[in-house]
Amino acid sequence: MHLERVAVVGLGYVGLSLSCALASKGFKVIGLDKDYEKVRMIEKGLTPIYEEGLDKVLGEVLDNGNLKLTQSYEEMINWTDICFICVGTPSRPDGSIDLSYVEDASRMIGKCLRNKKKYYLVVVRSTIPPGTTVNVVKKVIEEESGKRLTDYGLCFNPEFLREGKALQDIFNPDRIVIGCLDETSGEALLDFYKSFHGDNVPPVLVTTPTNAELIKYANNAFLAMKISFINMISQLCQNLPGADVKVVAEGIGMDKRIGREFLDAGLGWGGSCFPKDTIGLLKFGESIGVRLPILEATIEVNDSQISNAIALAEKLVGGVYGKNIAVLGLAFKPGTDDVRESRSIRLIEKLLERGARVRVHDPKALEKSREVLKNKVSYASCIEECLQNADLCILATEWSEYKGLKREMLEKLMKHPALLDCRRIYDPREFKGIKFAAIGLGEPSI
Ligand code: UGA
C-alpha cells in the first residue's frame, strides 16, 4: 500500500517535527492545528518551540511546497491517505490524563471519513493510557464514520522523541512500535515507515494497541526511575565523606546490563513528559486497582532533590534569606526553551519562598520563564550580569555555555563567591579556595 499524502493533527514539538521530517523526505504533508496563531506562525516559517535544526527544515519544506497548513479537517482528510494524531494529552488536576483533544480529533476525523472512498489509515502518536485506542479512538471514529476496521486502518504508534533532538530521533529511532488490531493496518504503517527509512529501517515491534500504549508509559517510567535511582544514591554520597555519585554512576554504568545513560544525578527530571507520564501511569494503575510502588518512590525521590538542593544552598551561604542568588539555567534541560515542570523554576520558587533575591539567566528560555516567574526575579542577559554582586551562584541547567565558568570570574564578579553545582558539570578541584558544593558529592568545602 502506498500512502504518500500525510496529515498531521496537532503541531506541538511531536507533530511539527514529524511534519517537517516527512516533508523533507519528499512526502506531501498537511498539518492541522486548532490554534490559529500557531498555524499562522508556522506558515511564516517560524517555529513556536526551539528545536535544533527545525527552523531550517521548516523553511525548506514550506518553500518547496511539501508542507501545507490548514485548520480544516475536511480539506486535510480529503487530500491525504494517512493521518497522525499528535495532539496533547495534558494532566487533569488529579494527575489523570485528559483525553478530550484525542476525542475531538477522532470525532472530526471520523466525520470526514464518512465520505472517503479510499482506504485511510489513522495513526495515534499522542501518549494515551492503555486501552484508549480501542475504547476511545476506535469507538469514536466508527460512530462518526459508520465504517468498521479494515474499511479503514487504525494503529497506535508511540513516539520516543527527546525535546531538542526530535528530528534526529525521527530519522534514527531505536525502534518502531506498532500497535494494531488487524494485519492490514500494521502492514500499511510498516510499509509507510519502509518508504520513509529506505535501507535503514530500525527494529520493528508489531503488537496490540494496548501493549504499544503501555510500552510508551513503561519506557518513560523506567527512564525516570533510573534518574531517581541515581539521585537516591546521590543523597547517600552527600553524607559519605569520600563518595562521589559521578564516579559511582560511571562504575555501575560500565555494567552493560545497566548502561551509563540516564544516570546523571542532579535536580531531577522535569519537562512535559516524565512528570505527566509517571503520575498518569500511577493514576491509571489506581483506576484498575493496581499500586505501583516503584513509581511512587520514583516521584518522591525526584521531589526530594529540590529540598536537597535548598539544604545545600542554605548550608553553603548560612541561610538564603536576604541573599542575592544567581541561578544559571531555566529550561528543563539544555537544548530547549521549554520550562514546563522545569526543576530550576521549582528551585527558584522555593528560594523565593525562603526570602532570597534571585537573578536568572538562560541562553534560550528567558522569554518563556518570564511568563512563569513574572517580576518575582530579575533577568540577566549574560552570565556576567547574572553573577554581579551575588552571594551564591546555582547551576541549575547544564547548558554548555556554563561549562567554562571559572573561579576567577566568580571572585571578580560576586560579592561572596560561592557555587552550588546542581548538575555536576564542574570539577570541584577548580573551585578550591571558594565555597563550593555539589549534588552527590561527599566532600564539599563547607
Ligand atoms: C523524554 C524521553 O527521553 C523521550 O524518549 C520521550 O519520547 C519523551 O520524554 C516523551 O515522552 O515525549 P524529554 O522529556 O525531551 O524526553 O527529556 P529527556 O532528555 O528524557 O530528559 C528528561 C528530564 O530528565 C530532564 O529534566 C533532564 O534534565 C533529566 N535527566 C535526564 C536527568 O536529570 N538525568 C539524566 O541522566 C537524564
Interval 365-410: pLDDT, tens = 999 999 999 999 999 999 999 999 999 999 999 999 999 999 999 9
Pocket of ligand 1 (CB under 6 A): 127, 159-163, 220, 223, 227, 262-264, 266, 268-271, 273-274, 332-333
State which H helix or E strand residue 83 sits in: strand 82-85
CB 440 within 8 A of CB 237: yes
- By CB atoms closer than 10 A (0-12, 13-18, 19+), residue 178 is buried
> Please, what sign has the CA dihedral across residues 429, 402, 414, 315?
negative
| Residue among 215, 273, 339 to mutate when testing ligand 1 (max atoms within 8 A of CB) | 273
pLDDT exceeds cutoff 60 at 444: no
The residue whose C-alpha atom lies closest to atom 3 belonging to ligand 1 is: 162
In the reported structure, the alpha carbon of residue 274 is separated from the centroid of ligand 1 by a whole-number distance in angstroms of: 7
pLDDT exceeds cutoff 80 at 212: yes
In the reported structure, the alpha carbon of residue 183 is separated from the centroid of ligand 1 by a whole-number distance in angstroms of: 33
- 273: annotated active-site residue: yes
pTM to 2 decimals?
A: 0.96
Q: Which three cell numbers stand for residue 174?
A: 531505536
pLDDT at 52: 86
pLDDT at 41: 96
pLDDT exceeds cutoff 50 at 445: no
Banded model confidence at residue 304, pLDDT cuts 50, 70, 90: very high
pLDDT digit string (tens) for 136-183? 999 999 999 999 998 999 999 999 999 999 999 999 999 999 999 999
pLDDT exceeds cutoff 80 at 259: yes
Q: How far apart are CA 68 and CA 28, in angstroms?
A: 8
The CB-side HSE value for 72 (13 A sphere, CA atoms) comes to: 6
Banded model confidence at residue 446, pLDDT cuts 50, 70, 90: very low
- For the CA of 161, the closest atom of ligand 1 is 7
3-state class of 239 per DSSP? coil
User: How many angstroms separate the first and last alpha carbons of the chain?
Assistant: 67
> Domains in the chain, start-ordered, CATH in brackets?
5-207 (3.40.50.720), 241-438 (3.40.50.720)
The residue whose C-alpha atom lies closest to atom 31 belonging to ligand 1 is: 262
Among 288, 285, 262, smallest CA distance to 274 is for 262
- By CB atoms closer than 10 A (0-12, 13-18, 19+), residue 406 is exposed
Q: Which three cell numbers stand for residue 410?
A: 566568580
Active-site entry in 273, 386, 393, 422? 273
CA distances from 410 to 310, 387, 418, 428 (A): 20, 7, 8, 14
Percent of the chain residues topping a pLDDT of 90: 96
Rounded to the nearest integer, the mean pLDDT of the chain is: 96
Among 413, 396, 412, 405, smallest CA distance to 430 is for 405
pLDDT digit string (tens) for 196-210? 999 999 999 999 999
Q: Which residues contact 12 (CB under 8 A, 6 or more apart)?
A: 49, 86, 87, 88
pLDDT exceeds cutoff 70 at 319: yes
Return the residue matching grid coordinates 501493549. Answer: 211
In the reported structure, the alpha carbon of residue 262 is separated from the centroid of ligand 1 by a whole-number distance in angstroms of: 8
Mean pLDDT (whole number) for 207-232: 98
The residue whose C-alpha atom lies closest to atom 18 belonging to ligand 1 is: 162
- For the CA of 398, the closest atom of ligand 1 is 28
- Side chain identity at residue 139, one-letter code: K
pLDDT at 443: 73
The residue whose C-alpha atom lies closest to atom 30 belonging to ligand 1 is: 269
pLDDT digit string (tens) for 69-126? 999 999 999 999 999 999 999 999 999 999 999 999 999 999 999 999 999 999 999 9
pLDDT exceeds cutoff 80 at 68: yes
In the reported structure, the alpha carbon of residue 162 is separated from the centroid of ligand 1 by a whole-number distance in angstroms of: 6
